[in-house]
Every structure is written in structure tokens, then in C-alpha cells.
């Protein structure tokens, strides 16, 4: 495997603490000495740290040393940086250290490097290395370590965490009492699940993976040849998008999506969903809205077929016109801006034989009427796209006390027999068989009313294209690709316009430029 392919493969992998320990054990059992692994890891860390924090602007480095091998890593890094000319100060608040860690500490002390129990002497450093705990942390931090963490979090000094910010649970990303709030996290070997949990993001800072040549056979032996939980990478997202059209195609071969959205109260939801679908490249776009929205929408989306529907007194869709045959579409995307008055339409859609993306009030109606069992009867695939509030309403038992988004979404997908996409800072998607994808790159600029409507339209258009033509791409692949694309548009828009400048309408204008940039097709 080429170095580039290896890196792409590693970027897709996610491990729990138990899985990392099994992989580590296989390496040791095969004869690689533990001390040699630590040297290798730390050598790569030291190189990266020198690149991130070069001399002379960074000179004095404070190192927080914990009792286990995370502390050992920190000490070896400290030694290497010392020989490169940095001034090193150690803080080791515990007396009982693992043997290898104790050996390295002994050597550093013999080199004349000062080691303190208190953290106060490190207050004037230019950089702090956090080697208190890695994936071996299994309980809440107590004094004096918890105090040290709280103190350094107050200092105006960059903090670089080795493997994980100390104090975070390796799998759930939850804070065990307190945790280092890192500027950078250099994750070792394989991405730890906890770093991808929304709760952890505040602590993780900029995260990077440091490869230390774990044999791929050991990874596959523990995670499987096709690991069920994966990070979304640009390569796998792009591969699932319908970027190249057959030369002799025509519009009906490129998918026909029906959007069912909007109400007099939430007219904008229909437009944003429509603009998202338009960017997907779908061949035909039909949009069912309350009759009173029809003319305004026709002006804004001239290429779409706008279907005006009979409406309730409050301006929600009362029913679909008889002329609409749901089974004639390749996909339906339903929900944004409907209000819960549109119950009859959602029930009709649920019983249709058309692939369905259900969002927003579509989900609220399902939750309110307890219609999850209806999903089991559906012959065609379903994608549910709740945010956390909708997720809690849909799956109250699963959400109750949920501490890991990945496990919760896996359970929800199994329970509903649908693909479930849980929105948030790090979108988690699971199919009913438990295959999970986590999107690791996004921007808080998307935390804004209407950006989810754009995603629903985009997904609807992509799902329609998938079902319009036979393909080996799975629905999960398509959904993760749409999620990645949406987030990339947010990132590009935020770069060009600041995080404040990414309203949902603007976001739709960045979908195509973001894709063009990522695929290097066209120019802006």
C-alpha cells in the first residue's frame, strides 16, 4: 500500500480504548518491544511539535507527566526536544509510575532537567505538553491532578495534548471531572472515538493523527476487514457522488425528487430545501407546497415543478393533490417547515413505496403518533435526519442517559430499520445493520436556522439520483457523501465570509463551489 493510501485508510479508522489496547497487545506479542514503540511514537511527536512550535518563538516547554505510558511518551518527547535546544521543565504530581515511565524520568533528572510536584514553576512556559493520561484513564480525576488541570486551563499558554486531552473518556469523550482544554491534540496511531463526540470538541482543539506504523494486519484483525464504524474522508465521500454523467443520459435518468415542505408560517423552509436539492444535480425537481406559496416559489426556483396543495386554515399542507403519484418519484424528501398540522401527508408518504428522507416536522409527526412501527412495514428505504431534540422525541428510551452518540444512533437505526443521521457538530449516521459513519470536519457556522433544510434537499436529490440508475454505491455511502458536502460548503462559506456570514441561503450558494474545489473541477 502506498503511503498516501495508508494515510487515507488510517483517516477512516476509529477505535475504542479496548480496541486500541488489543491492537497494541498484538504488536507487543509479535516481538516489538514496548520501549521501542514509545521511542518511535515520541520521535514523530517531537518532530511535529517542532514544526508547530518552532524556536526561538517557543523556547521553554512545560511537560505534565502522568503515571502511565502517556506520561512515558511525554518524557521521551521532552528528552528529544531538550536535545534540540528547548528548555524543559517537568511537573509530575504522582509518585507511583509505571516502570518504563519511571526509567525515563530518572534519565531526564540525571540530565539535569528539573521536575516539580507543583505546577506553579511552569507558569512562565511558552508551551505545555499534556502527558497526564491517554487511553488508560478509567476514572474521575481527583486532587492534586484535577487542580493542576484547572490551573493550567486558566493560563494563557498553548496546550498540546498527547493522544487525548487528559480527563476525556476515550470512548464517550465525556469529561471525567475536569479535562485539559487543548490547543492541539496529536492523536497516536488511530483516531480515538471520544475525539469525535460533540461533548469533547471544546477540549480537543486542532486534532491531528500521528502515524507510527501500526501494521495494517493488526488493525484489520481487531477492527475487521470492513470496520463498521468509520470516519468520513473526502475520498470516500467524493467516490459516492454522481459527478460524472453518462454522455447520452436524459433528465429522467438523473433522478426525480419530490420535496414536500413548507407552510404559510415557514415559507422559507421550502425554498431552502429546494435550493439544496437543486445543487445536488438531480434531473427533475418537484416541490409540493401549500397553494399560497406556489407563485413565490416558482419565481425563486424557475426550473422546479411546483405543486400547489390544498391547505389547512393555518396554511399547512392539508393533502397532496390526486395528480401526485408518489411511486413515480425516485425519492421523496419531506418535513422542513411543514408544521405538525401536515399529519395526513406524512402518513401518506410513510405508506408509499418510494425511498424517503424524513426531517423536521416529518419526524415530529412520527414521534407524536408513535409511528416508528410504520417504518418497519416500509418496503422502500428510509433516512431519518433528526437533530438532538428530534432524536430524543423519536427515541426517548435510547436517548435516556445516552453517553455515546455512535452507540445511540446505531441502536436507533436498528430499532427503526431506517438510516438514522443525527445532526450536530459531528454528524453520526448509522444504517440498520450497525454500519456507522462520522463526519469529522465541519463548522459551527452551520449552527443556524435553516441549514438542516438545505441538507434535507441535498440528500433528497442525491438519493433520487442513486435510485434512478443501478449503482454499487450504498445508500449509507450517499448519505455520508451529502453530509460531507454540506459541511464542506459551510467550511468554505465560513472561510470566505466569517462564521457569522453563513446564513442558510448563503450556504446554498457555496455547495457547488465547495464541491468544485474539493474535486478540483472548475474554478471559482
Ligand X SMILES: NC(=O)C1=CN([C@@H]2O[C@H](COP(=O)(O)OP(=O)(O)OC[C@H]3O[C@@H](n4cnc5c(N)ncnc54)[C@H](OP(=O)(O)O)[C@@H]3O)[C@@H](O)[C@H]2O)[C@@H](O)CC1
Ligand Y SMILES: Nc1ncnc2c1ncn2[C@@H]1O[C@H](COP(=O)(O)OP(=O)(O)O)[C@@H](O)[C@H]1O
Assign residue 335 a region (left: φ > 0; alpha: ψ between -120 and 50; beta: otherwise).
left
Other Cβ atoms within 10 Å of 89 Cβ, number: 20
Comparing CB distances to ligand X, the nearer of 85 and 215 is 215
If one asks whether residue 333 binds ligand Y (CB under 6 A), the answer comes out as no
Residue 166 assigned to a binding site: yes
If one asks whether residue 38 binds ligand X (CB under 6 A), the answer comes out as yes
In total, the chain counts a number of residues equal to: 524
Q: Which residue is nearest to ligand X (CB)?
A: 134
Assign residue 205 a region (left: φ > 0; alpha: ψ between -120 and 50; beta: otherwise).
left
Among 113, 360, 428, 507, binds ligand Y (CB under 6 A): 360
Strand, coil or helix: what is 453? helix
Residue 224 assigned to a binding site: no
Least distance between ligand X and beta carbon 17 (Å): 9
Which of 176, 178, 168 lies closest to 207 in space, CA to CA?
168
Least distance between ligand X and beta carbon 176 (Å): 7
If one asks whether residue 189 binds ligand X (CB under 6 A), the answer comes out as yes
If one asks whether residue 171 binds ligand X (CB under 6 A), the answer comes out as no
Q: 3-state DSSP: the chain helix, strand, coil percent, rounded to 5?
A: 50, 15, 35
Comparing CB distances to ligand Y, the nearer of 118 and 206 is 206
Which of 292, 294, 334, 298 lies closest to 312 in space, CA to CA?
292
If one asks whether residue 137 binds ligand X (CB under 6 A), the answer comes out as yes
Cα–Cα dist 387/445, whole Å: 16
Which of 435, 477, 482 lies closest to 462 in space, CA to CA?
482
Comparing CB distances to ligand X, the nearer of 188 and 254 is 188
139 binds, among K ion, ligand X, ligand Y, none (CB under 5 to 8 A by kind): ligand X
Decide if 409 contacts 428 (C-beta within 8 A).
yes
Comparing CB distances to K ion, the nearer of 130 and 361 is 130
310's grid cell = 390544498
Among 1, 54, 139, 299, binds ligand X (CB under 6 A): 139
| Phi, then psi, of 288 in degrees rounded to 5 | -95, 120
Which of 460, 423, 447, 421 lies closest to 274 in space, CA to CA?
460
If one asks whether residue 37 binds ligand X (CB under 6 A), the answer comes out as yes
Stretch that binds ligand Y, among 83-91, 115-123, 363-371, 443-451 (CB under 6 A): 443-451
Angle, vertex CA 462, rays to CA 459 and CA 468, nearest 5: 135
Least distance between ligand X and beta carbon 402 (Å): 23
- Window 359 to 398, contacts with ligand X (CB under 6 A): none
If one asks whether residue 73 binds K ion (CB under 5 A), the answer comes out as no
189 binds, among ligand X, ligand Y, K ion, none (CB under 5 to 8 A by kind): ligand X
Other Cβ atoms within 10 Å of 295 Cβ, number: 10
DSSP label at residue 303: T
- Which residues face 186 on adjacent strands? 162, 208
Query: By the criterion CB under 6 A, which residues form the site for ligand X?
Result: 20, 24, 37-38, 41, 66-73, 98, 133-139, 141, 145, 162-163, 188-189
Query: By the criterion CB under 6 A, which residues form the site for ligand Y?
Result: 360, 387, 423-425, 427, 442-444, 446-447, 449-453, 455
Query: By the criterion CB under 5 A, which residues form the site for K ion?
Result: 130, 161-162, 166
Binding residues for K(+): 70, 130, 166
Binding residues for (6S)-NADPHX: 69-73, 134-140, 163, 337, 387, 453
Amino acid at each position: 500500500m502506498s503511503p498516501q493510501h495508508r494515510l487515507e485508510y488510517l483517516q477512516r479508522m476509529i477505535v475504542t480504548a479496548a480496541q486500541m489496547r488489543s491492537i497494541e497487545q498484538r504488536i507487543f506479542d509479535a516481538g516489538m518491544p514496548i520501549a521501542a514503540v514509545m521511542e518511535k511514537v515520541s520521535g514523530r511527536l517531537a518532530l511535529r511539535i517542532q514544526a508547530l512550535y518552532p524556536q526561538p518563538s517557543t523556547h521553554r516547554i512545560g511537560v505534565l507527566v502522568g503515571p502511565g505510558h502517556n506520561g512515558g511518551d511525554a518524557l521521551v518527547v521532552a528528552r528529544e526536544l531538550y536535545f534540540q535546544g528547548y528548555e524543559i521543565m517537568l511537573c509530575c504530581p504522582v509518585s507511583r509510575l509505571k516502570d518504563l515511565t519511571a526509567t525515563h524520568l530518572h534519565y531526564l533528572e540525571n540530565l539535569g532537567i528539573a521536575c516539580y510536584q507543583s505546577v506553579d514553576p511552569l507558569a512562565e512556559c511558552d508551551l505545555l505538553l499534556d502527558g497526564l493520561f491517554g487511553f488508560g484513564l478509567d476514572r474521575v480525576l481527583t486532587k492534586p491532578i484535577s487542580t493542576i488541570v484547572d490551573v493550567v486551563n486558566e493560563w494563557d499558554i498553548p496546550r498540546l495534548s498527547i493522544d487525548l486531552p487528559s480527563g476525556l473518556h476515550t470512548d464517550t469523550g465525556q469529561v471525567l471531572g475536569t479535562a485539559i482544554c487543548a490547543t492541539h491534540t496529536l492523536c497516536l496511531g488511530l483516531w480515538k472515538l471520544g475525539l469525535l463526540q460533540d461533548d469533547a470538541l471544546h477540549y480537543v482543539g486542532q486534532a491531528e493523527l500521528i502515524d507510527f506504523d501500526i501494521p495494517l494486519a493488526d488493525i484489520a484483525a481487531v477492527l475487521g476487514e470492513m470496520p463498521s464504524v468509520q470516519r468520513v474522508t473526502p475520498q470516500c465521500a467524493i467516490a459516492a457522488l454522481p459527478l460524472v454523467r453518462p454522455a447520452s443520459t436524459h433528465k429522467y435518468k438523473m433522478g426525480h425528487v419530490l420535496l414536500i415542505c413548507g407552510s404559510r408560517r415557514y415559507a422559507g423552509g421550502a425554498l431552502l430545501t429546494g435550493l439544496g436539492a437543486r445543487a445536488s444535480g438531480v434531473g427533475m425537481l418537484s416541490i409540493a407546497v401549500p397553494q399560497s406559496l406556489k407563485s413565490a416559489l416558482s419565481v425563486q426556483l424557475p426550473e422546479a415543478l411546483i405543486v400547489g396543495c390544498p391547505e389547512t386554515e393555518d396554511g399547512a399542507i392539508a393533502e397532496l393533490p390526486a395528480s401526485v403519484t408518489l411511486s413515480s418519484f425516485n425519492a421523496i424528501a419531506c418535513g422542513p417547515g411543514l408544521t405538525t398540522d401536515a399529519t395526513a401527508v406524512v402518513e401518506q408518504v410513510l405508506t408509499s413505496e418510494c425511498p424517503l428522507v424524513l426531517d423536521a416536522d416529518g419526524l415530529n409527526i412520527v414521534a407524536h403518533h408513535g409511528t416508528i412501527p410504520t417504518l418497519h412495514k416500509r418496503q422502500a428505504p428510509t433516512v431519518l435526519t433528526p437533530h438532538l431534540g428530534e432524536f430524543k422525541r423519536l427515541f426517548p428510551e435510547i436517548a435516556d442517559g445516552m453517553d455515546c452518540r455512535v452507540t445511540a444512533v446505531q441502536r436507533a437505526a436498528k430499532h427503526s430499520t431506517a438510516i438514522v443521521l443525527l445532526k450536530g457538530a459531528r454528524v453520526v449516521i448509522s444504517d440498520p445493520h450497525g454500519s456507522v459513519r462520522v463526519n469529522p470536519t465541519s463548522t459551527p457556522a452551520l449552527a443556524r436556522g435553516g441549514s438542516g433544510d438545505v441538507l434535507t434537499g441535498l440528500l433528497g436529490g442525491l438519493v433520487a439520483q442513486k435510485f434512478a440508475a443501478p449503482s454499487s454505491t450504498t445508500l449509507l455511502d450517499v448519505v455520508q457523501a451529502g453530509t460531507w458536502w454540506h459541511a464542506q460548503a459551510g467550511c468554505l462559506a465560513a472561510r470566505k465570509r466569517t462564521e457569522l456570514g453563513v446564513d442558510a441561503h448563503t450556504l446554498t450558494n457555496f455547495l457547488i463551489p465547495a464541491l468544485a474545489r474539493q474535486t478540483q473541477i472548475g474554478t471559482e
